[in-house]
Structure 1
Amino acid sequence: MCHVIVTCRSMLWTLLSIVVAFAELIAFMSPEWLVGKAKSINSASVENRTGGSSEPYRPTLGIYGRCIKLASSWRETLCGPYAENFNEIASGFWQATAIFLAIGILFLCAVAFVSVFTMCVQSIMKKSIFNVCGLIQGIAGLFLILGLILFPAGWGCQKAEDYCGPEASPYKLGECSLGWAFYTAIGGTGLTFLCAVFSAQAEIATSSDRVQEEIEEGKSLICLL
């Protein structure tokens, strides 16, 4: 018989696991990791109004994609991958960053999916599903840290120099600045370890004496604060 067990701590862990997975996935897909040096595009419409001035903008560069202004239309921004295949991604460090982040996010998405079913299934192969998920989240956090550490090492590649100027080098941004996606990934990594720790509290809450008493009374839906 399936006992649906819902507690504040288990629900909070589930929601936080889902939020962390989505935050890391959105950050990974975003081109807003590096904000490049200011550039200008001459526009006939702008020249007619301002007498030959140009419209400045700052291109953005992500793990595998970028956003730039089209020379044919200064109002239109083109976003997409800058490489046709994985081997063309900026540098070895950049490739390693993409691999480690992707593995970590894959683990987080798997835990987020499983966490939805923890209300009904609290153990797997005689082990607490919360503890197993917490362990996976901890491993995912390590992969994310490795990816974030290796990301600045790739700033000296040709692709980064095109966006950040010749002064760009490993761990030196040049004329670039860090975008919101990088900070989101850092915040998500911190929350990943918080989830890993909090999974133990979720396990305690769903296996407490009060829950066992409710089960012995024959209740199939157990909701506790």
Structure 2
Amino acid sequence: MCHVIVTCRSMLWTLLSIVVAFAELIAFMSADWLIGKAKTRSNAEPDDQSGGSSEPYHPTLGIYARCIRNPGVQHVQRETLCGPYAENFGEIASGFWQATAIFLAVGIFILCTVALVSVFTMCVQSILKKSIFNVCGLLQGIAGLFLILGLILYPAGWGCQKAVSYCGHYASAYKPGDCSLGWAFYTAIGGTVLTFLCAIFSAQAEIATSSDKVQEEIEEGKNLICLL
């Protein structure tokens, strides 16, 4: 018989696991990793064929995506065209960014899997005679290591030709030149920190769901157990 066990600590861990997975996924898909130097239609990047207005704007560049001024809109401020600049994995601007994409993708896949499993921890507390919280915490720790590797390698690709076209000729490995870091990069860092906090907090969720009070209520025949 399935005993549904809900505690504050287990619910908080579940919610954090879901938030972290979505935050990392959104950051990975975003083009706002690097904010390019201010451009006008007259000095736009080579692959932006727009023309006309001299209103400055800031193109953005992600691991595999970008945002530029929409060539079809000449008089609307901040109208942008966003999408992947690479048609396949091999066209990603830098080998370091390719490695970053791989490490982040693996880490995010693990986090999304844990987030899905965490929803069922209210009813299932063990898997193969191991605490599901401990298993998930271990997986989150592994995911965090993949995320760290990806984030360390990402700045090494700032010297690639694509980044230089956005950030100026002073851009090089670990030096963004005229670019500034966008919200996606900081979100990925924050999500990585929270990933390790989730891994640590999973132990508290395990303690809460296996406490003596929970066992007492199970022995009393209760199927739904809610504890603070």
TM-score range, shorter chain: over 0.9
1:4-153 to structure 2, matched below 5 A, reads 4-41=4-41, 54-74=54-74, 75=76, 76-153=79-156
- Runs of 4+ with >4 A deviation: none
Instruction: Flag structure 2 segments of 5+ consecutive residues without an equivalent.
Output: 43-51
Residue 157 (structure 2) aligns with: 154
- Give distance in 2, aligned partners of 1:31 and 1:123: 39
- Give distance in 2, aligned partners of 1:37 and 1:142: 32
Secondary structure at the aligned position of 2:100 is classed as helix
| Higher percent of residues as strand | 1
Q: Which amino acid aligns with 1:154?
A: G
Task: Quote the sequence identity (%).
Answer: 84
CA drift at 1:70: 2.6
- Give distance in 2, aligned partners of 1:151 and 1:100: 10
Secondary structure at the aligned position of 1:32 is classed as coil
Answer whether contact 2:41 2:53 (CA < 8 A) is retained: no
Answer whether contact 2:66 2:85 (CA < 8 A) is retained: yes
Residue 213 (structure 2) aligns with: 210
- Give distance in 2, aligned partners of 1:129 and 1:151: 33
- Deviation string, structure 1 residues 158-199 (Cα, Å, up to 9, x no partner): 110110011110000111000000000000000000000000
Answer whether contact 1:103 1:140 (CA < 8 A) is retained: yes
- Deviation string, structure 1 residues 67-104 (Cα, Å, up to 9, x no partner): 00034423331100001110000111010000000100
CA drift at 1:53: 6.5
- Give distance in 1, aligned partners of 2:70 and 2:123: 52
**In the comparison of the two structures, how many residue pairs are matched?**
216
Q: TM-score, normalised on structure 1?
A: 0.94
Secondary structure at the aligned position of 1:79 is classed as strand
- Give distance in 1, aligned partners of 2:29 and 2:111: 15
Q: TM-score, normalised on structure 2?
A: 0.93
Q: Which amino acid aligns with 1:56?
A: P
Answer whether contact 1:41 1:71 (CA < 8 A) is retained: no
Residue 174 (structure 1) aligns with: 177
Greater alpha carbon shift after TM alignment, 63-72 vs 6-15: 63-72
Secondary structure at the aligned position of 2:56 is classed as strand
CA RMSD between the two structures: 1.1
